[in-house]
Amino acid sequence: MTADWIDPPQFATAVANSPADHPCMPQRANKLGAQVNIAAPQWVAPRADTPFFVPVCMRGIVPVFDPPVKPKVVARDIESGATYEGEITIDFKPKYPPGVHVDVDPRSIAKPVPVPPGMKVGQQFVADLVGHAGIPRKAATYEVYVISGGVQSDTALVEIRL
């Protein structure tokens, strides 16, 4: 796959909903405090031969809630002011090598333990402004951010070129 449709090119291989490490992932701002950091392409030019996809990569340390609260991505069209947002579904299913089969006896699973107050966890994923927030296929510049664990990220500007 060529990256002539997106800049910087490392975003071309990002996979929506994936928690896997990827070159598009931003660095954490610090080692201890709650934080949500994002990286997004400067521009995307949708192609006719592939689905319209605009990746936003997130890495952070976020508070844990019980019950869990899904992260969300928000995109605001700078010219029109229209806002698009949606929850992010992340596939955290374990990945096993081919040929490996794991059986789990449901009786061996411990009962859930309440989340201790103030607990934080590392989190990373790739969101899609089209699939998650529903941005339209039109020329626009969006101000983008992610909210996860009640913490809002920095913002990024993403231009859609047609």
pLDDT digits (tens, 9 = 90+) for 51-70: 999 999 999 999 888 888 89
Considering only CA atoms, which of 54, 45, 46, 55 is closest in space to residue 23? 55
Q: How many CB atoms lie within 10 A of CB 7?
A: 16
154 located within any domain: yes
In a domain, 20, yes or no: yes
Mean pLDDT of 61-89: 92
Question: Is there a contact between 147 and 71 (Cβ–Cβ < 8 Å)?
Answer: yes
Contact between residue 57 and residue 129 where contact means Cβ atoms under 8 Å apart: no
Mean pLDDT value across the chain = 86
Provide DSSP, 23-49.
Answer: TTPPPPS-SSS-EEEEE--SEE---TT
Cα–chain center distance at 40: 10
Most confident of 8-12, 86-90, 115-119: 8-12
Instruction: Write out the residue range of the structural domain in which residue 34 sits.
Output: 6-92+111-160
Pairing state between β 35-39 and 72-77: unpaired
Determine which of 12-21, 22-31, 47-56, 109-118 has the lowest per-residue pLDDT on average.
109-118
Beta 140-148 vs 151-152: how paired, if at all? antiparallel
CATH number for the domain harbouring residue 66: 2.60.40
pLDDT at res. 92: 52
User: If you average pLDDT over residues 89-115, what whole number do you get?
Assistant: 59
Confirm whether 102 is domain-assigned: no
pLDDT in tens, 125-151: 999 999 999 999 999 999 999 999 999
Percent of the chain with pLDDT over 90: 58
Per the CB < 8 A criterion, the answer to whether 161 and 45 are in contact is yes
Q: What pLDDT, on a 0 to 100 scale, did the predictor assign at position 48?
A: 87
104: in domain: no
- Which position has the higher pLDDT, 34 or 98? 34
CB 71 within 8 A of CB 132: no
Separation CA 146–CA 43 (nearest Å): 18
For residue 23, give both structure tokens.
């070159």
Element (H, E) at 143: strand 140-148
pLDDT at residue 17 tops 70: yes
Identify whether 105 is part of a domain.
Answer: no
Please indicate, yes or no, if residue 103 is contained in any of the structural domains.
Answer: no
pLDDT tens readout for residues 105-126 = 555 556 666 777 888 888 899 9
Evaluate whether residue 75 is within a structural domain. yes
Residue 106 lies in a domain: no
pTM above 0.95, yes or no: no
Tally of domains in the chain: 1
